[in-house]
């Protein structure tokens, strides 16, 4: 089973499936396993110091001969140092997010890197295109982690971005199986970026407790928190309730909200405190019922994609 799209050609990969760069989840093991199975693995620099990122890039290079990338959140205080590591290590692909897409693009492009920016509205997609990004990820409101305040869902967002830009569009948010992959392609996307489903794989560096919470999640197990201090989708737990109560009490006190969430991603995702940590996850969590290896996941995706194509073509009787 193969799918050839503008995105598979852009990255020289077999399937248009990108594993999202997620804090405390996407180390070299997950990224290399994804790339080795025909997708594009991304190392999540958002939770790494520059030298840790360098180590992950080196290990990823040793573990796969296939293309891989790094996700770089542009608003981080040490974004410059992280970008420097990416440049020095000649990483073939960079996904940037949370910040101005033009920040490092000339330097990345001068090294021949492919640069993709993550957006949550048509306006930001046009901006990413205008500064020279090779593709754009359109991330819907259902996506886990940090998210766009316009609350535009994958279903509504993707075709509107596709109509607005000429560069390939990658869909993210709510996609956890082959049905979602084919649906995203039907909406006009040339590929998908999947987060939460990869967070609950064996190769994910997240804590077992966090993976188990994803497996237990139902359709209504996530919520938006910190609307004015980061805007993130997480699993509901004691921490999310605390954050929501604090927001109701003092919505304008952004400082307290930021302090409240400090180091809570690490506490929840990496250290496994399922009660007091910030368990970032998308609404697709309800579709995830077991922790499996990346290889098993790709076998599953391929089967589900086949089934979705067969089902769709079976509806035609003309």
Q: Which residues contact a copy of itself by CB under 8 A?
A: 1-5, 16, 121-123, 140-142, 150-157, 159-160, 163, 173-177, 179-180, 182-188, 218-220, 224, 248, 251, 282-284, 286-287, 308-309, 311-313, 315-318
Least CB distance from residue 158 to a copy of itself, whole Å?
8
Distances from the Cα of 239 to the Cα of 60, 229, 234, 268, 276, angstroms: 33, 15, 10, 9, 5
Contact 103, 96 (CB under 8 A): yes
Q: Which residue, 45 or 229, is less far from a copy of itself as judged by CB?
A: 229
Element (H, E) at 154: helix 154-164
Contact 261, 2 (CB under 8 A): no
Q: What's the DSSP call for residue 268?
A: I
Contact 246, 255 (CB under 8 A): no
Least CB distance from residue 315 to a copy of itself, whole Å?
5
Question: How far from the centroid of its chain's Cα atoms is residue 239's Cα?
Answer: 22
Q: Which residue, 211 or 302, is less far from a copy of itself as judged by CB?
A: 302
Q: Which residue, 79 or 192, is less far from a copy of itself as judged by CB?
A: 192
Q: Which residue, 94 or 152, is less far from a copy of itself as judged by CB?
A: 152
Pair of tokens at residue 118: 């993550």
Q: Residue 59's beta-bridge partner residues?
A: none
Closest of 80, 81, 91, 84 to residue 56, by C-alpha: 91
Least CB distance from residue 54 to a copy of itself, whole Å?
36
Least CB distance from residue 156 to a copy of itself, whole Å?
3
Least CB distance from residue 188 to a copy of itself, whole Å?
6
Q: Which residue, 58 or 130, is less far from a copy of itself as judged by CB?
A: 130
């Amino acid at each position: 089973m193969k799918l050839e799209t503008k995105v598979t050609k852009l990255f020289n990969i077999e399937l248009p499936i990108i594993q999202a760069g997620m804090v405390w989840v996407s180390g070299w093991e997950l990224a290399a396993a994804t790339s080795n199975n025909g997708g594009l693995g991304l190392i999540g620099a958002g939770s790494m110091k520059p030298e840790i990122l360098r180590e992950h890039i080196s290990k990823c290079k040793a573990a796969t001969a296939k293309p891989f990338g790094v996700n770089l959140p542009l608003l981080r205080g040490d974004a410059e140092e992280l970008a420097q590591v990416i440049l020095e290590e000649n990483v073939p692909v960079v996904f940037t997010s949370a910040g101005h897409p033009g920040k490092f693009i000339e330097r990345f492009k001068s090294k021949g890197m492919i640069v993709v920016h993550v957006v949550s509205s048509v306006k930001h997609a046009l901006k990413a295109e205008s500064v020279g990004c090779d593709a754009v990820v359109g991330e819907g409101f259902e996506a886990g982690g940090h998210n766009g305040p316009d609350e535009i869902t994958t279903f509504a967002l993707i075709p509107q971005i596709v109509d607005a830009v000429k560069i390939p569009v990658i869909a993210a948010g709510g996609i956890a199986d082959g049905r979602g992959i084919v649906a995203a392609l039907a909406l006009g996307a040339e590929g998908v970026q999947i987060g939460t489903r990869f967070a609950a794989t064996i190769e994910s560096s997240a804590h077992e407790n966090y993976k188990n919470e994803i497996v237990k999640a139902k359709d209504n197990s996530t919520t938006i928190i910190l609307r004015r201090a980061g805007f993130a989708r997480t699993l509901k737990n004691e921490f999310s309730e605390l954050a929501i109560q604090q927001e109701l009490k003092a919505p304008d006190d952004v400082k307290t909200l930021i302090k409240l969430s400090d180091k809570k991603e690490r506490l929840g995702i990496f250290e496994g405190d399922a009660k007091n940590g910030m368990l970032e996850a998308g609404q697709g969590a309800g579709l995830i019922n077991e922790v499996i290896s990346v290889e098993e996941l790709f076998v599953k995706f391929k089967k589900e994609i086949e089934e979705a194509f067969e089902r769709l073509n079976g509806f035609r009787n003309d």
